[in-house]
Amino acid sequence: MINLRIPTRGCGRPQPRRGNVRGLPGLRRFRGFWTGVDGAELLEFALGLPFLLIFVIGIIDFSGAFNLKQKMANAAREGARMAISNSLTDESSGCANASPPCSIQAAENAVANYMTNAGVESSCLSSASASSSGTDSWTYSCKGISLTINRGYWFTYTPATGGTDITVLATQVTLTYPYTWTFGNIIGLLELLHVKNATAILPSTLTTTVVMQNLVTD
């Protein structure tokens, strides 16, 4: 009696069982994860995360800058109202020959108090020395903050009814405050996605200017 052995696979070579290869089931599960729906969602999240962070940080940064700018504008208006309502040549007790004039000191105090009450640290302005430019302009500077009060600012406007332009003597208040941005650092994440020159040029300070017509002339 003749017994014949017929191989079922290959050309007579024995075939190993899959269960005998260590780690192969885990490898199949790993490959299945990346090629399945879960892996695709994770990859999409990883690609979209830098854009999401930039979007959120941008909202926080620019809204903070806008909020600070509004507070600065209101503070400058308070200082301008104080300056335009008082004369530079106040001869009352304690103000005669004062440098800077009492009206300028009062305007500076109005700006510093408003900023401090609004939660923006500016108390150093009250102890800062004023430097004069000419006879009508003074500047206070401290810790990156700058406040300039110009009592002799001239501007020209055309009346709504037409006619000749009118020149007006006014007070100009310019306030500058430092601002730290996070957006400029976080935008560098775009380089991870091979976006070249992913930078943002942002100012290190915010500045606001207010002009009001003088109500009291010297």
Q: Is residue 181 part of a domain?
A: yes
Q: Say if 173 falls within a structural domain.
A: yes
What mean pLDDT comes out for the span 108-128?
94
Both tokens of 133, joined, read 């430019």
**Residue 166 lies inside a defined structural domain of this protein:** yes
| 125: enclosing H helix or E strand | helix 124-127
Q: Which pTM does this prediction carry?
A: 0.75
For residue 7, is it within any domain?
Answer: no
> For 140, phi and psi rounded to 5 degrees?
-110, 135
Whose tokens are 């992913």? That residue is 198
Please say if the pLDDT value at position 21 is more than 50. no
Residue span of the structural domain in which 71 resides:
34-89+98-213
Amino acid at 105: Q
pLDDT value, residue 200: 77
Residues 6+ apart with CB under 8 A from 170: 84, 153, 154, 155, 211, 212, 213, 214
Residue 200 lies in a domain: yes
The count of structural domains within the chain is: 1
Q: How confident is the model at residue 193 (pLDDT cuts 50, 70, 90)?
A: low
